[in-house]
Structure 1
Amino acid sequence: MSRTCDTVRSARKTDFLHSVGNFFTRIFRGFNDIDTAYIEPQHYNYTFMMQNTNTYEEYTLKSKSGQSVTFAPKPTIKVGPYIGWRWFFIGYTFDVDNFAGGGNKKEFDLSLYSSLLGLDLYYRKSGDNYRIISTNVFGDKGRESFRKVAFSGINSSIKGFDVYYIFNHKKFSYPAAFSQSTCQKRSCGSPLVGVGYTSHSISLDYEELEKALQTYGKTHFGMSEDEVALDSGLMFRNVKYSSISVSGGYAYNWVFMKNCLFSASLSLAIAYKESEGDQSSADDRKLKAFNFNNFNLDGIGRFGVVWNNKKWYVGASSVLHTYNYKKSRFSSNGYFGSFNIYAGVNFGKKREYK
């Protein structure tokens, strides 16, 4: 009797494990379930790619009275290797100007792509080569004749992730355009929906900023120091933004000739944002009014063109993120983008394609 009960329990346990295994197998297959009339699956297990990345970013800080200053670092040129295994893709790029050391710019990206879902993780830290590219603190005198001014008193970093769901994933391939892990055979589009989180930090030496503007105003416009003064809304040293967003948009893959694809997608995100920072008035009193919670609209755009014959591929892509933070006494608008040129090869052919 005891042996019979043990046999029954063992059979039930085996059936349960088989059921769990089958459940997760169906989920995994669903992540890469495609219509082969529209999408050619990847024939290889691995890929190696070299990529040139050109990045640009810009921040505009604006006070309640309308005084504003716009900063942007010099555009950077980066190169680096990427390695992929099926729908897992990781890479690292380094700044060509700082190859021998001495720079503090860093960038890290991790992307996971499947036909159903996509995940982007990113981390960027700026260097100290910012420039003031526009400002209205000089009034009408500087609107037309202002020239870019080097400014090392600002630093920024951004980190976060985006997860998105592709509705028409059986016929539309996001990976075909941005990770080259499949090939789009026929033109097709799909709605997208996603969620994301971003943490953004800006450090500003407002005393150095005011001094730089006063020097410029005196040198170029003959203005006194009293005529060039920052509003209290721009007098902060550190501010940290964080946001949780829900996005929706549309993407389209256009196969304009054999093995050639052009892709474009636009998403609009509704983001709930928090910010913490410190402000100093002219008499150095700390104000706590710089904290705020609000909703804003952000945007994400992706564009790409690629030639892919399943073994070799070459292409270019561009990604642009925009962020907006607004409060009655202060606002910040910024964007960062990248333009990539890449070439790679797939290897380690899958068993079913040998």
Structure 2
Amino acid sequence: MNIRTAATILLLCLLASASAAERHLRNKFLDRLYSIAKDFSRLDTNYIEPQKYNYAVMLQNTNTYEMYRISNGNQQSVDLAPAPSYKVGPYFGWRWIFLGYTLDVTHLGSRNKRTGIDLSLYSNQIGIDLFYRTTGDDYHIRRIELGDDAKIDVSPLRGVDFGGLHANIRGFNLYYITNHKKFSYPAAFSQSTRQIRSTGSPILGVGYTHHRLSMDWKTLRDVVTAHLGHKPEFEDLAMNSFAGTVKYDNYAVMGGYGYNWVFARDWLFGASLSASLAYLHTISEEEKQQGASANIFRINKFTVDGIARLGLVYNNAKWFAGASAVFHTYNYHEKEFSTNSVFGSVNFYVGFNFGKRK
């Protein structure tokens, strides 16, 4: 054997050894990923019963509520809210995913249809809610204040129709369950597992919500004048800053606590409350048109918001039924201008699981 042949054989042996080492490292890495994935869904069966089925079908009634309060530095404010919207629609679930569509049955005969699309993805550790909702133009004046100096009876305005406000909302919430091996958030709000022993957990998360709001102050002034015979002098700053279309971008970091109470066999009451430190950025169409030099009031501030959830569930693994409620609050306060808004929904549902897992 000459030197060239020996060198070639040695090189081939080294390459084969390197390939074996690479395969070992790759397999070790894949095994580690698989272990992480398994740990992602691992749970304590003394507290949580895993889902025994692959699919679920559900019929849900959703009742939505919302309210806007707009006020200024002259102690003038107006509360605007539509009549509650009653929606019905089917949902289909595959393991952690629930996808559905609801139709507003209270406005079937009119152009003012309210619709909502919701997509929820749940695991033991992480959950995400994606939502898009549109509202109509059937707002009513719930409460109005014209200022301390305005000695005027405003009771004739309560319940008066106001078509000058249009709004929609879209966004997501992403949350992490720290005590995920024992506490099942989906058991209370998506029925994909069953909580069999009471426990709680801290909840951490982030969220983004985009609001589009179109407010017609001239129409509001005309409505007040027509019903009271009085032309209100709304503060110019609030008029100029909040006229036309306004877009709210809400970036939030959330923290809270949830508790699941198993008070009887197959029954569960769940509740969670989260507060969020949010960065609220608002920009108006007028500002876009006139440029950065426009003398328009801007909202660009941190604020504290909140999310509350309640759920009552009967779930015997095959059939389930219950009710849940979710309410979001958004706030901004400034000396010259402030807004408060509340969005909420109350759901009633019934469904069953099928396609048993092997």
Give me the TM-score of the superposition, normalised by structure 2.
0.89
What's the offset of the Cα at 1:231? 2.2
What's the offset of the Cα at 1:328? 2.9
Residue matched to 1:283: none
Q: Structure 1: state its 5+ residue gaps.
A: 281-285
What's the offset of the Cα at 1:245? 1.0
Q: Does residue 179 in structure 1 map to residue 190 in structure 2? A: yes
Counterpart code for 2:226: T
Residue matched to 2:160: 149
Residue matched to 2:99: 90
How far apart, in 2, do the equivalents of 1:133 and 1:234 lie?
20
Counterpart code for 1:208: T
1:1-354 to structure 2, matched below 5 A, reads 1=9, 4=13, 7-99=16-108, 102-137=111-146, 139-142=150-153, 144=155, 146-218=157-229, 223=230, 225=231, 228-232=232-236, 233-235=238-240, 236-277=243-284, 288-351=295-358
What's the offset of the Cα at 1:73? 1.2
Q: Deviations over 1:184-210 (max 9, x none)?
A: 101111111111111111101111111
Counterpart code for 2:130: L
What's the offset of the Cα at 1:292? 2.5
Whether the aligned pair in 2 keeps the contact of 1:275 and 1:290 (CA below 8 Å) is no
Worse-superposed segment, 260-269 or 234-243: 234-243
Q: Structure 2: state its 5+ residue gaps.
A: 1-8, 288-292
Counterpart code for 1:192: I
How many correspondences in the alignment? 339
Give me the TM-score of the superposition, normalised by structure 1.
0.90
Whether the aligned pair in 1 keeps the contact of 2:85 and 2:114 (CA below 8 Å) is no
Please provide the CA RMSD for this pair.
Answer: 2.1
Partner SS for 1:255: strand
What's the offset of the Cα at 1:124? 1.2
Q: Rg bigger for which structure?
A: 2
Whether the aligned pair in 1 keeps the contact of 2:255 and 2:275 (CA below 8 Å) is yes
How far apart, in 1, do the equivalents of 2:61 and 2:131 lie?
17
How far apart, in 2, do the equivalents of 1:134 and 1:91 lie?
35
What's the offset of the Cα at 1:329? 1.9
How far apart, in 1, do the equivalents of 2:79 and 2:97 lie?
37
Worse-superposed segment, 311-320 or 145-154: 145-154
Residue matched to 2:5: none
Whether the aligned pair in 2 keeps the contact of 1:50 and 1:342 (CA below 8 Å) is yes
Counterpart code for 2:112: G
How far apart, in 2, do the equivalents of 1:5 and 1:105 lie?
69
How far apart, in 2, do the equivalents of 1:27 and 1:297 lie?
35
Partner SS for 2:112: coil
Partner SS for 2:234: coil
How far apart, in 2, do the equivalents of 1:79 and 1:288 lie?
46
CA 37–264 in structure 1, closer or farther in 2 if over 3 Å, else same: same
Whether the aligned pair in 2 keeps the contact of 1:168 and 1:189 (CA below 8 Å) is yes
CA 100–347 in structure 1, closer or farther in 2 if over 3 Å, else same: farther
What's the offset of the Cα at 1:10? 4.4
Worse-superposed segment, 31-40 or 130-139: 130-139
**Identity across aligned pairs (percent)?**
45
Partner SS for 1:141: coil
